[in-house]
Amino acid sequence: MLLECRDALSFINSAESSFRSAEVGSYTSTNRKGDGGYSMSAEENKALVRRFVEELWHAKNYRIVDELCVPEFVAHDLPAGIAANREGFKKVAAVMHNAFPDIRFTTEDVIAEKDKVVIRWDSTGTHKGEFMGIPATNKRVSRNGVTIYRTVGGKIVEWWNKSDLLAMLMQLGAIPTPSRPRQ
């Protein structure tokens, strides 16, 4: 069952106590200003994440990962065998840029609450380099997904991503497209 962006955010917020057991260094959701509010507003967190997406994915500025992510950054949904840290994240971005040099992300929804920002996005790109062992096909592909960022004090601390990789692999011809029954 697919969750709406707001449902995903509610799920994560309701499970916040379980996240505390997997805290990232000293960057916890309880780092707050003395007035009881979070260190950045929802709008500031949205702007941080938009800048991150624009500079990393569109401008191919890998230094932005070190600038906007804490040293203890955790990327929870990287491929197996890739370190779930800033260096692993930059490696995955470079692989995507090599495979799809014209990749573009379109933000469909941005929802922010407290220290989390959720983006529902679509992406397009032309398959010009090897991707997951698939040689370049020159096919134009699209993919959609939902990414969740956790921020503290103007930095990205954690990242979760779920996207429709199956549809993209079908578009590349790596996986057969299911046939539809005749009517």
The DSSP annotation for 78-132 comes to PPTTS-SSHHHHHHHHHHHHHH-TT-EEEEEEEEEETTEEEEEEEEEEE--S-BT
Q: Does residue 76 form part of some domain?
A: yes
Question: What pLDDT band is residue 179 in, cutting at 50, 70 and 90?
Answer: confident
Ordered strands of the 104-113 beta sheet: 69-75, 155-163, 140-152, 116-126, 104-113
Q: Does residue 139 form part of some domain?
A: no
Q: Does residue 178 form part of some domain?
A: no
Question: What pLDDT band is residue 110 in, cutting at 50, 70 and 90?
Answer: very high
Q: Does residue 33 form part of some domain?
A: no
| Residue scoring higher pLDDT (154 or 179) | 154
> What is the pLDDT, as a whole number, of residue 177?
87
Report CA-CA distances (Å) from 10 to 18, 35, 112, 128: 14, 24, 11, 38
Could you list the residue range(s) of the whole structural domain that residue 88 is in? 5-9+39-124+146-162
CA 102, CA 143: separation in Å to the nearest integer? 14
Q: Which two tokens stand for residue 5?
A: 């962006």
Q: Does residue 174 form part of some domain?
A: no
3-state secondary structure of 135: coil
> What is the pLDDT, as a whole number, of residue 12?
37
Q: Does residue 64 form part of some domain?
A: yes
Q: Does residue 101 form part of some domain?
A: yes
**Cβ–Cβ < 8 Å for 119, 147:** yes
**pLDDT score of 117 more than 90:** yes
CA 120, CA 46: separation in Å to the nearest integer? 13
CA 27, CA 23: separation in Å to the nearest integer? 7
pTM for the full predicted model? 0.78
> What is the pLDDT, as a whole number, of residue 22?
41
**Cβ–Cβ < 8 Å for 179, 170:** no
Counting residues of the chain whose pLDDT is more than 90, the rounded percentage is 74
Query: What does the pLDDT look like over 74-87, one tens digit per residue?
Result: 999 999 999 999 99
Number of independent structural domains in the chain: 1
- Mean pLDDT over each residue of the chain, to the nearest integer: 84
Where residue 69 sits, what CATH number does that domain have?
3.10.450.50
Q: Does residue 26 form part of some domain?
A: no
Counting residues of the chain whose pLDDT is more than 70, the rounded percentage is 79
Q: What is the mean pLDDT of residues 128-133?
A: 96
Question: What pLDDT band is residue 3 in, cutting at 50, 70 and 90?
Answer: very low
> What is the pLDDT, as a whole number, of residue 79?
94
Which range, of 7-21, 67-81, 92-106, 169-183, averages the lowest pLDDT? 7-21
Query: What does the pLDDT look like over 138-167, one tens digit per residue?
Result: 999 999 999 999 999 999 999 999 999 999
> What is the pLDDT, as a whole number, of residue 141?
98
